[in-house]
A = this chain, B = another copy of it.
Amino acid sequence: MKKMILASTSTIYGSTYLDYIKDEVKLLFSNSKKIIFIPYARPNGLTYEEYTEIASSFFITLGIKVNGIHEYKDLKKAITENDGIFIGGGNSFLLLKTLIDNDLINDLKEAINSGKPYLGTSAGINICGPSIGTSNDMPIVHPTSFKAMNIIPFNINPHFLDANTNNKHMGETRETRIKEFHFFNSQIVIGLREGSYLSIYGERIILKGNKSARVFELNKKPYEIEINFNLKNLL
């Protein structure tokens, strides 16, 4: 049975790293002693060691050991040997490229579909859908494909932001961008606001947190779904 927490952001304003979902994360990894952390997205250009240390400092408070994947020679073994997976945020292009270059997409997919608990934040949830085509990130490196793990049947747009009607900036709104995405892609896109997350156990995909989410379907007007909605009903 699939077990995943997919959070729009690792940190909400005025709080500390992962603190707002601490209880959910504890529950997700309740049978895990050691988990593998994949620091490939490198926010702010952090080194793998520095980033793993941040994740580790949080998980130590739950009595869980964090192993950085870069500490392993055999990366595939790193996934099978640990009893949980956490992929942190940063740059989605860099994350996907590094996963592709290391041939880890299928291994991760298999492990997660087989029930290994998975926590993802930001870029770490972009890669769970069919593609990273709704990422907000800057294309700082070129992956050979935008296809991602396709573990959930829709794309996510993390850090979703509503248009600011007072804004004098002429760049596209998030909603306009997702509309443009749908000229070339057909999958549903979930605009997941900061403070909200998806809790996935088996077939149930429940919206949790403190904000409604925005659903973008091809050829439909975007609409809101409320907390506790089961996204399975969209499919």
Binding site for B on A (CB under 8 A): 9, 11-14, 42-45, 90-91, 93-94, 132-142, 145-146, 159, 161, 168-172, 176-181, 183-185, 194
Contacts and interface: CB of A to CB of B under 8 A. Distances in A.
Residue among A14, A141, A142 with max Cβ neighbours from chain B (10 Å):
A142
A135 B141 CA distance: 12
Contacts of A137: 172, 177
Could you say how many copies of this chain the assembly holds?
Answer: 2
11 contacts: A11-B170, A12-B170, A14-B168, A43-B172, A44-B179, A45-B180, A133-B141, A138-B178, A139-B146, A140-B177, A140-B185
Residue among A9, A93, A171 with max Cβ neighbours from chain B (10 Å):
A171
A169 B13 CA distance: 7
A140 B136 contact: no
A12 B168 CA distance: 8
B134 A136 contact: no
A83 to B, nearest CB: 29
Given A42-B183, A134-B138, A139-B146, 16 more contacts: A11-B170, A13-B168, A13-B170, A43-B172, A91-B180, A94-B184, A132-B139, A133-B140, A133-B142, A138-B177, A138-B180, A139-B139, A140-B183, A142-B146, A159-B171, A169-B194
Given A13-B168, A170-B13, A136 B133 contact: no
